[in-house]
Structure 1
């Protein structure tokens, strides 16, 4: 197993750790006692999410730079992204931090596109991700991080909910990127 694939597997193993920390984090948030940014669970939860999301760029960079692109990596990399985003959104929706309909749209889009890719793969067609999909992923990570941070540091200068605005933007871009992906690849499914 090459380095790029090891990084991707490490990202997948960070997801259960993030989830475990999130339970403690959400208890602190819901208790309303101490400022949440002073708690270990808060710092650790945000750190693990950002670390897991950040390794997405690292494994891609390593795979391209050292010519370590493999079929396993092509399978695991997008799976790791979907697992991380889905786990975060489901847990945040359960904690009341994210509206359920937004989580449903984002996760639903991921499942729909994955199903299309699998159907195309069964026909011997490889459907590549496009720039719109990559922008979507970056915006999702930024929005989820902002919500996890409870609008910090924006809350220091404004009462405007930047975190929720970013989440709405991520949902909208996710929906648009899914529609774009389907339209762009529709010709493969006409027969």
Structure 2
């Protein structure tokens, strides 16, 4: 079974995955959506880290470190960022994080990733505008997306026939032109939320 969800908060994602385990769905993999396998309902303890590695050996050492603490690596690669662990040993540590700072820093790494994606798309967007591949004026005035001569001077049935005929084409032109700025804004929002969660988690003290 595959489910499609998007999270910007690790705690909420962990809670959802653990609830799915209670319902009898064992989390197996995350790629395009979350993949589950029917299983016996259980009170699973799934935790998420966010970290990338340049070397495979470093990634393997990272996974081994958690396994030594009683946590099995479920899914994630050295470059995927998202790493999922499930408690496999009842005598293992209660959490994959030893302190608040190590738990918070995953949000900092996530924020840096979103910021990097946003900044990488900004130059592309600027180049497309400067080369007229994207009509910046059309982003502010959608009427410019319609190429039918004299469309806006037509009236009655002639207008609606031409308007409805070209609207799908105008929509696709506008969609592709708006895709980059929308992605940039979304990435910046995600980066802001992750950074906010980083600061909030740092202020939390589970020992209190």
TM-score (norm 2): 0.27
If each structure's helix is expressed as a fraction of its own residues, which one has the higher value?
1
If each structure's strand is expressed as a fraction of its own residues, which one has the higher value?
2
Higher relative contact order (CA 8 A, sep 6+): 1
